Amino acid sequence: MRRALLCAALAAAWPSGAGAQSLMLTEADALARLSATSARVRAIRAEVEVARADILSAGRWPNPRVNWDRQSVAGVTEHYLTVSQLLPTSGRRGLDVQAASARVAATSSRIDDEIRRLRADLRLAFADLAAAQVRAQELTRARDRLRELAQVLARREGEGDAAGFDRLRAEREVLDVEADLVVAATERARAQAALAGFFEGITDPSRIVAVPDPAPPAPVPSVAALMETAEASRGALLALRQDVEAAHLSERAASRSLRPEPEIFVGTKSSTASSGGTGSALTVGSAATGSVIGVHATIPLFDRARPERTLAVSRAVQAEAQAEAFRLALRGEVAALRAAVVERREGADRYRAEAVNRADDIERIARVSYDAGESGILELLDAYRIGASARVRLASLDLAVRQAEIELAFASGWEMP
């Protein structure tokens, strides 16, 4: 019910002619539009499929080889036809597949972080639009009130109850607010275009209206709780751990290369030499044929996979150091962002209670004093200006709060409402 009333209020406050075509979006609606099938998400996810090719490459079997050999000496001709197949019995192939799978998992974790960054950027764009709308609405309200005051002063001037200076000064104030309103409208249009860039099928960004959630802010967890969540959910940190696992598997795979892998070959041999014996040879015409079988193996005498093992160990050490550095930097970032959220919330609440809520009283007192002749037009306009400035500044303070919350949620993995 509150959301419906808020949507209706925003539609009523929107420029005439646009309300019927406005696209009212809450933050949840905007995030839902950023589905797995959207172009930006698919472009990020495509990197996983590229990485999966390494698994296929590591797991493929070597192709068999066919060999034909002809030898002719002293009128005797021999033909060899063999088929050979390398048998990966050392276990290196399986370890290479596991290492490639770990690297794919690391890529997937990094992509998950990129998706979370994309969702955070969407939230920031939504918050920017919501703040721009509030600024435009407050300036519109201030302009309308000043116009009403200028009309009252013009009527009083006609009746001889007010000076022309008062009317002219009020009209000048209207012009100043209208100039600020032009800037605010430009900022709102920019924010609408930025938000529309996350979606498909929106050809007119000016239709987008951000509907803020009136729910109270959620309490902020402690730094220890936030870090515990970050340790378990941050894709960049998980990816570094998976990089370490992949490096250890690559080291084991390189060590397995010291175990010879046999290459079996089988085939036939034919010879034109006379076959007078009683062996297994079979005479066909003037030639005899028989079977051939053998085994080849590479002896790891010179190449003992030292470069591969050294590279794997170095990558493991590098990933472990990067993970530790990332963890330390993340703790500082989370602590700073949490402090920013708490301080900005307190500052915005204090400003709302002490400045904004008293602005109406200041305007009312200034209006009574002006009507009673106790103060001049400058004091009255100053009261109006203070009220409008306070409401516009509060929108910027609320935006700063939301920006800090979104960045804290991304850095720590905190599921912020």
pLDDT number for residue 37: 74
For each successive 10 residues of the chain (417 residues), what is the average pLDDT?
Answer: 46 46 89 82 85 87 92 87 91 91 93 92 95 94 90 81 81 92 95 91 88 86 93 92 94 89 92 59 62 90 88 94 94 96 95 88 86 83 90 94 95 84
For residues 254 and 305, the answer to whether their CB atoms sit within 8 Å is yes
Q: What integer pLDDT is reported at residue 274 of this predicted model? A: 63
CB 239 within 8 A of CB 107: yes
The pLDDT value given to residue 163: 76
The answer as to whether 287 is a domain residue is no
User: Is residue 147 included in any domain, yes or no?
Assistant: yes
Q: What is the pLDDT of residue 281?
A: 45
Distance CA 226, CA 269 (A): 73
In a domain, 292, yes or no: no
Note the pLDDT of residue 286.
59
Q: What is the predicted pLDDT for the residue at 359?
A: 86
Q: What is the pLDDT of residue 272?
A: 85
Of the candidates 267, 270, 302, 295, the residue with the CA atom closest to the CA atom of residue 283 = 270
Q: Is residue 341 part of a domain?
A: yes
Name beta bridge partners: 210.
Answer: 25
Q: Which domain holds residue 376?
A: 2-33+87-262+297-412
Burial of 173 (0-12, 13-18, 19+ CB in 10 A): buried
CATH classification of the domain holding 190: 1.20.1600.10
**Amino acid 284: pLDDT:** 44
Question: Quick check: is 309 in a domain?
Answer: yes
Under 8 Å between Cβ of 138 and 188: no
Q: Is residue 76 part of a domain?
A: no
pLDDT (0 to 100) of residue 331 = 94
Structural domain total, the chain: 1
With respect to residue 325, please indicate whether it lies within any of the assigned structural domains. Answer: yes
Single-letter code of the amino acid located at 416: M
Residue 290, SS3 per DSSP: strand
What is the DSSP secondary-structure string of 53-108? HHHHHHHPPPPPEEEEEEEEETTEEEEEEEEEEE---SSHHHHHHHHHHHHHHHHH
Q: Is 43 a domain residue?
A: no
